[in-house]
Structure 1
């Protein structure tokens, strides 16, 4: 392989994805870099400007000009960082999140159209080829927390939540098909009837595959939301995915005006319980029960948001 081979491939691929066609690309009215900044802010909502600059390898002055523009347009807010007052925390406003969501929708439509031109039998080869390029041209390091993206659910993701919950809880705790039925009902209820202003699903993605999920849905009690179906794949635990997913639910519930956030779990799920405590949840009730083929102790946890 020569330098010319790589340059030729680059020209081919940028033409395929339309990165140079400003008349039709998905980022309008933003530049490619501006769109990438919006994307990072949407998937890491408590990002400091310094972290954002490091993640994107941007010149400090260039990033500052982009953030100034976004702030002028009402897309972001900046405030002293909670971790270090000398730093500036950058968060999306409601308008900024709407802009990021629109870009995400356009990108999914564009990539979906591109993928539709590839025969189903050829898609595994395409995915493997992409992984090979990333592996050979990457820095060889193991995945880190910064490689994990949080996004909304795409086609098939809700089914993935049901399948992975059933498979993991059977493998790790020996739960029977009753649990799969419970998860399927929860997911089906969300898919058939949910308010996108007040309810949301997050998917954690690493290297193009889902590795975690969580839901925030309305509870029967007034002004109360419920955290449901927190899941992290075993091979990606230790990357802070569960912590980020719970944090997203708490931030979302608080932002849309819920007064309380509640959840039900079982005492054997010790890692999850540690996460809930870290985010301020309090254990309010326990009760033994026989479910999913086992004797368990159910727990109710509550977090006051106001």
Structure 2
């Protein structure tokens, strides 16, 4: 009997073999401009009835931020569009545009032809052996749900109506969890309004997190100066906590700030927000300033954190 290490090597060898067979390492899968992941996303949108963006992360086992960036590129290229679900207005349904349908049709035809060519080189009995072996592999692996690594949420950029949720959720949760009064809600409202009025898409960004068709989180990057970006308004609904969403949102801010050319990312928070402070520490932020203040009906300790990019 082979050792466990040898079994791992055998599985990795099989993965590399199948990757070569389907051409996943070529610059474009099936001689197209799309990667394996992009092609799979197009396939899911084309073949599933009313696919919701918030469900694709779990279905495909993809990082939420990565999927968001791919869908944003698809929208820019005119391959997909988003529509409100007729069954649930909270959900956003992905649809292929005529251009997207044309792209998928080519991919689907080429995939069919390549598989037909592969099977055509095998005898009838060999084809049946292959199908049976594939069913065995699929059946064994599908029993192990731990192989799905992604969270059940989806990240996207802000759209009309989102700022109302951001203001409402901040006002509600901070009142329930910390006893802060409506002056905090007024502050959040002002920050959100300033973001919309002065929005610079090359230098600023808002991420909205959805889960099961509902908004469950948000975070912002706004321009502070030529070299400094500000992280603002991180919030995660209690129903989505414990899934790594807060950490994912902060990571998106860090990556965007680097790509936008900022040299430093700063944020202001309060010492009572222990969960958020823990995320900032894990991401490498350093506490650089503390000051006592009376705000929102409480005596608080404000904190300034910085991350050099």
Q: Is the TM-score greater than 0.5?
A: yes
| 1:167 is the counterpart of 2:160 | no
CA contact under 8 A between 1:261 and 1:303: conserved in structure 2?
yes
* 1:203-240 Cα distance to aligned partner (Å, 9 max, x none): 11111111110000001x43100000000011211000
Residue number among 214, 237, 245 corresponding to 1:209 in the alignment? 214
The aligned counterpart of 1:157 is 162
The 5 A counterparts of 1:175-214 are 175-214=180-219
For 1:188 and 1:105, locate their aligned partners in 2 and report how far apart those are by CA, in whole Å.
Answer: 31
- Contact 1:75–1:97 at 8 Å: present in 2 too? no
Matched, 1:244 2:248: yes
> Residues 226 and 208 from structure 1, CA distance in 2 versus in 1: closer, same or farther, beyond 3 angstroms?
same
Partner of 2:28: 68
Name the structure, 1 or 2, with higher relative contact order (CA <8 Å, separation 6+). 2
In 2 relative to 1, CA 204–105 (structure 1 residues): closer, same or farther, beyond 3 Å? farther
* Structure 2 match to 1:283: 287
* Structure 2 unmatched ranges of 5 or more: 1-17, 37-62, 92-142
CA-CA distance at 1:178 after TM superposition: 0.5
User: Cα distance 1:175–1:99, how it changes in 2: closer, same or farther (>3 A)?
Assistant: same
Cα distance in 2 for residues equivalent to 1:284 and 1:166: 27
1:287/1:96 Cα in 2 relative to 1: closer, same or farther (>3 Å)?
same
Q: Residues of 2 paired with 1:146 and 1:70: CA distance?
A: 29
In structure 2, C-alpha distance between the alignment counterparts of 1:105 and 1:278, rounded to whole Å = 37
Q: Distance in 1 between matches of 2:168 and 2:230?
A: 21
Instruction: Give the TM-score taking structure 1 as reference length.
Output: 0.60
Q: 1:224 aligns with which of 203, 218, 228?
A: 228
Task: Report which of the two structures shows the higher radius of gyration computed on alpha carbons.
Answer: 2
Q: What's the counterpart of residue 296 of structure 1?
A: 300
CA RMSD after TM alignment: 3.6
The equivalent residue for 1:264 is 268
What is the number of equivalent residue pairs in this alignment? 210
Structure 1 spans left out of the alignment, 5+ residues: 1-58, 77-88, 128-138
Change in Cα spacing, 1:74 to 1:275, as seen in structure 2 (3 Å) is: same
Contact 1:226 1:263 in 2 (8 A): yes
DSSP-derived class of the 1:146 partner: coil
Matched ranges for 1:30-109 at <5 A:
60=19, 62=22, 64=24, 68-69=28-29, 73=33, 99-102=73-76, 106-108=80-82
Residue equivalent to 1:50: none
